[in-house]
């Protein structure tokens, strides 16, 4: 779709506002892609954004034309907000632009979106900050509904997750940070996947040198953190599928974690064991011996024909067997992931999946909405998918069944190109919240990432500033980049040490062992 930003009266260059315009375009019209023609052509389909300044009020208008129909949205705000010296000017104009575009777009579409005009992946940040500042849960919900036009069920869902985020945030100490360890190997590549992972059969020669390099990075990180008096609050090993590694290699990584990293105050350590075809009694017993409290066994669906369509090399029966193994040889908490909207799935099939997963009684269940990610086989090859209305019914069925079974939502996030513009939600039984998921998704604390594809986030929460340090994306590149990797670890350790000294975080449990498992 063609986009025109009228050039008069904009604070700064209008090109600065292309990003929020494109965000709203992709939210309202996910099949469209932005184009920027040179001339303004009122007869063509497209969006014209105009900013006008008055003596007291400024106004952003969005005129949207599509298939011989057009609608206009208008948002006003105090003209003094356009003072280019004000740090908030970009956010003020961007917000007004998106609201005006949303007004016009939904008028053309004839319906609202579940998350209203919100385009980011972390909608829970808004009610979390509102409630942290003293507003009530109902006030935070009302802001989502009235300012951002979020649907009442989604506003309530976000506020419920915000309460869980605040509980976790109260237990975070300034001298601690979260830890992510990446294992970029899987048995096969799923059709929907765009993560940095390799089919282990094709990259077998990389596994041993990768584990050696990762252990070297773990040792360096541990030395740097201990020198600066820092601690790990929560840890997560993902990928990929970490249990793709042979038991001896997985043992080697976890031994390096125990030997070098400051894990004394780490309240939870999760290891992804997502694929049942990677789970053995030997690996589960080894995880237990290393003190791992949580694993994920991720069926995504319990329908065999849907598993085949995804490119998974296992059956639903193997998921049941893996869960039985976990109960016998592991004994810790288990999360199970499901995806609503998979190719070849139906509402009835998804409901059968819910019932079979609930019968296995995992402590956590995460319900994802299918996202058509760039680089995935599903996006490149296409295929018939359930309609957005069907996906919405799947999510409603999940919410109803999970609440009835005693689960509550505790974190959520959104992604680009999600079917129906919905969300992913983590559900937990009382006392089984995964704090790492909240810390990572709500960006409450620095997350130190080790391994290929890891993104370290240096989080200055009080100043709302986040700096990202990327490890090399692929295993082979990772093996060749020690100087870059080691420099990033030093930067992260120095950042958190300074933040710990200056920390304004006031926490009842500062300096004590954290126990996230007691959070409801």
How many CB atoms within 10 Å of residue 201? 10
Distance CA 149, CA 116 (A): 5
Distance CA 63, CA 103 (A): 10
**CATH architecture of the domain covering 1-111:** 2-Layer Sandwich (3.30)
Dihedral, 95, 101, 105, 107 alpha carbons, nearest 10: 90
φ, ψ for residue 411, nearest 5 deg: -150, 155
Distance CA 443, CA 425 (A): 16
Predicted TM-score of the model (pTM): 0.90
pLDDT of residue 418: 79
HEC string of 89-144 equals HHHHHHHHHHHHHHHHHHHHHCCCCCCCCCCCCCCCHHHHHHHHCCCCHHHHHHHH
Closest CA to 157 of 121, 116, 124, 118: 124
Closest CA to 177 of 488, 449, 451: 449
Q: Give me the sheet containing 69-78, strands edge to edge.
A: 2-5, 46-53, 57-66, 69-78
Going by their DSSP bridges, the two strands 408-413 and 364-369 should be labelled as: unpaired
φ/ψ region of 480 (left if φ > 0, alpha if ψ in -120 to 50, else beta) reads: alpha
pLDDT of residue 372: 74
- Does the fold of domain 171-503 match that of domain 1-111? no
DSSP string, 415-456: -TTBGGG--EEEEE-TT---HHHHHHHHT-S-EEEESTT-EE
Domain boundaries, the chain: 1-111, 117-170, 171-503
**Per-residue model confidence as pLDDT tens for the chain (520 residues):** 999 887 666 777 788 899 999 999 999 998 888 998 877 666 778 999 999 999 999 999 999 999 889 999 999 999 988 887 767 888 999 999 999 999 999 999 999 999 999 999 999 999 999 999 999 999 999 999 999 999 999 999 999 999 999 999 999 999 999 999 999 998 765 555 555 555 555 567 899 999 999 999 999 999 999 999 999 999 999 988 999 999 999 999 999 999 999 999 999 999 999 889 899 999 999 999 999 999 999 999 999 999 998 887 789 999 999 999 999 999 999 999 999 999 999 999 999 999 999 999 999 999 999 987 555 555 556 567 899 999 999 999 999 999 999 999 999 999 877 777 899 999 999 999 999 999 999 999 999 999 999 999 999 998 899 999 999 999 999 999 999 999 999 999 999 999 999 874 444 444 444 444 443 3
pLDDT of residue 11: 77
Q: Where are the alpha helices (DSSP H) in 170-298?
A: 204-227, 247-260, 281-289
Q: Which CATH superfamily is domain 171-503 in?
A: tm_1862 like domain (3.80.30.20)
Going by their DSSP bridges, the two strands 69-78 and 57-66 should be labelled as: antiparallel
């Amino acid at each position: 779709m063609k986009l025109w930003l009228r050039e008069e009266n904009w604070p700064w260059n209008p090109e600065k506002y292309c990003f929020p315009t494109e965000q709203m375009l992709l939210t309202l019209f996910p099949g469209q892609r932005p184009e920027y023609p040179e001339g303004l052509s009122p007869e063509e389909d497209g969006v014209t954004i105009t900013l006008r300044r008055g003596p007291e009020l400024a106004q952003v208008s969005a005129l949207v034309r599509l298939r011989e129909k057009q609608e206009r949205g208008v948002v006003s705000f105090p003209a003094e907000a356009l003072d280019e010296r004000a740090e908030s000017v970009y956010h003020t104009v961007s917000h007004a632009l998106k609201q005006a575009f949303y007004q016009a777009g939904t008028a053309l579409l004839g319906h609202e979106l579940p998350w209203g005009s919100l385009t980011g992946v972390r909608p829970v940040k808004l009610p979390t900050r509102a409630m942290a500042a003293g507003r009530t849960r109902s006030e935070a919900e009302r802001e989502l509904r009235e300012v951002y036009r979020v649907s009442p069920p989604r506003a309530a869902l976000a506020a419920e997750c915000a309460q869980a985020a605040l509980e976790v945030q109260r237990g975070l100490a300034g001298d601690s940070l979260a830890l992510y360890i990446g294992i970029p190997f899987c048995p096969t590549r799923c059709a929907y996947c765009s993560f940095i992972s390799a089919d282990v059969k094709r990259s077998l020669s990389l596994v041993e040198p990768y584990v050696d390099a990762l252990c070297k990075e773990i040792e360096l990180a541990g030395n740097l953190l201990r020198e600066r008096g820092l601690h790990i609050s929560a840890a997560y090993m993902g990928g990929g599928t970490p249990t793709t590694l042979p038991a001896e290699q997985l043992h080697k990584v976890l031994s390096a974690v125990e030997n070098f990293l400051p894990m004394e105050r780490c309240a939870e350590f999760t290891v992804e064991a997502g694929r049942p075809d990677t789970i053995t009694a030997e690996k589960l017993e080894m995880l237990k011996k290393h003190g791992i409290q949580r694993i994920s066994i991720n069926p995504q669906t319990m329908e065999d024909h849907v598993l085949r369509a995804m490119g998974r090399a296992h059956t639903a029966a193997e998921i049941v067997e893996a869960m039985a193994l976990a109960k016998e040889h592991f004994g810790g908490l288990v999360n199970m992931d499901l995806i609503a909207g998979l190719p070849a799935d139906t509402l009835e099939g998804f409901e059968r999946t819910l019932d079979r997963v609930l019968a296995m009684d995992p402590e956590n269940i995460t319900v994802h909405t299918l996202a058509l990610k760039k680089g995935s086989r599903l996006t490149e090859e296409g295929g018939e998918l359930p309609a957005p209305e069907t996906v919405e019914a799947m999510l409603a069925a999940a919410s109803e069944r999970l609440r009835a079974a005693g689960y509550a939502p505790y974190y959520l996030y959104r992604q680009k190109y999600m079917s129906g513009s919905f969300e992913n939600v983590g559900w937990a039984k009382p006392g089984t919240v995964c704090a790492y998921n909240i810390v990572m998704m709500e960006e409450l604390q620095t997350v130190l990432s080790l391994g290929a594809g890891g993104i370290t986030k240096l989080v200055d929460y009080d100043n709302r500033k986040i700096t990202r340090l990327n490890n090399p994306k692929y295993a082979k590149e990772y093996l060749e980049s020690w100087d870059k990797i080691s420099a990033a670890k030093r930067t992260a350790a120095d950042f958190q040490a300074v933040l710990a000294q200056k920390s304004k975080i006031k926490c009842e449990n500062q300096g004590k062992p954290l126990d996230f498992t007691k959070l409801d």
